[in-house]
Chains A and B, each alone.
Chain A
Amino acid sequence: EPEVTQTPSHQVTQMGQEVILRCVPISNHLYFYWYRQILGQKVEFLVSFYNNEISEKSEIFDDQFSVERPDGSNFTLKIRSTKLEDSAMYFCASSNRAGSGYNEQFFGPGTRLTVL
């Protein structure tokens, strides 16, 4: 069964460093998403991406964050200068349709980011 994959599973970085989290969405999906979950808290939407551009972003997704689909398979989240409060589990998700509420999103296993 096709699935979303993410690498690395765990990333430890120093405050102020740049990190890139990688995702390979399900191959025929067109809509891509990043969410994060701080330990013990809700899953929160960060950004959605379609047709090579951002469709929507949350208040969390400030200038320190960027997303890219550098080739036909990968979808990346970059955090330019990490802060302690960026420590969280980052989930990538994909769906093959959106609009009219038909938006089953399938999640990857997550990357646990720890900022020291």
Chain B
Amino acid sequence: EDKVVQSPLSLVVHEGDTVTLNCSYEVTNFRSLLWYKQEKKAPTFLFMLTSSGIEKKSGRLSSILDKKELFSILNITATQTGDSAVYLCAVNSGGSNYKLTFGKGTLLTVNP
């Protein structure tokens, strides 16, 4: 069974701090890893990673994948209160072209 484990489960920081969120996975046939931000409701797509060592960047957010060590990190620099959300990691794997397997998420709280 595919497994996606995120850590920490929750994190409280002050505005301006830099945070690193972790996602490790055990899957049968890795295809891609995706990061989503979930505020009140819908997960909002952030990044999709398929290759090791290539950083994806969008503003203050960046992410990288290590396919040898089976993990990914999501970095957020100069955090703002609007970054407060649950960050979800999901993996597309195995014989499935379709299913995403999600981790439990990291709840990030950014205090002013």
Would you give the 0/1 interface string for A1-38, flagging 1 where the beta carbon is closer than 8 Å to chain B?
Answer: 00010000000000000000000000000010101000
- Is A56 a contact partner of B98 (Cβ separation < 8 A)? yes
Report A108 CB to chain B, min CB distance, Å: 6
- Is A100 a contact partner of B96 (Cβ separation < 8 A)? no
Residue A91 at the chain B interface, CB threshold 8 Å: yes
Residue of A nearest to B34 (CB): A104
Q: Which of A31, A43, A108 contacts B102 (CB 8 A)?
A: A43
A58 to B39: give the CA distance in the assembly, Å: 26
Interface size on B, residues (CB 8 A): 25
Residues in B whose Cβ lies below 8 Å from that of A110: 41-42
Residues in A whose Cβ lies below 8 Å from that of B41: 89, 109-110
Centre residue among A44, A91, A101, A106 by max chain B CB count within 10 A: A101
Please judge, given known A-B contacts A44-B102, A100-B31, A101-B32, whether A106 and B97 are in contact too, CB under 8 Å: no
What band does the interface of chain A fall in when counting residues whose beta carbon is under 8 Å from B? 20 to 34
Residue B36 at the chain A interface, CB threshold 8 Å: yes
A71 to B30: give the CA distance in the assembly, Å: 34
Report B31 CB to chain A, min CB distance, Å: 3
Residues in A whose Cβ lies below 8 Å from that of B32: 101-103
Report B21 CB to chain A, min CB distance, Å: 16
A100 to B50: give the CA distance in the assembly, Å: 9
22 contacts between A and B (CB under 8 A): A33-B98, A42-B103, A43-B90, A43-B102, A45-B99, A48-B99, A55-B97, A55-B98, A56-B96, A89-B41, A100-B97, A103-B92, A103-B98, A104-B48, A105-B34, A105-B45, A107-B36, A107-B42, A107-B43, A109-B41, A109-B42, A110-B42
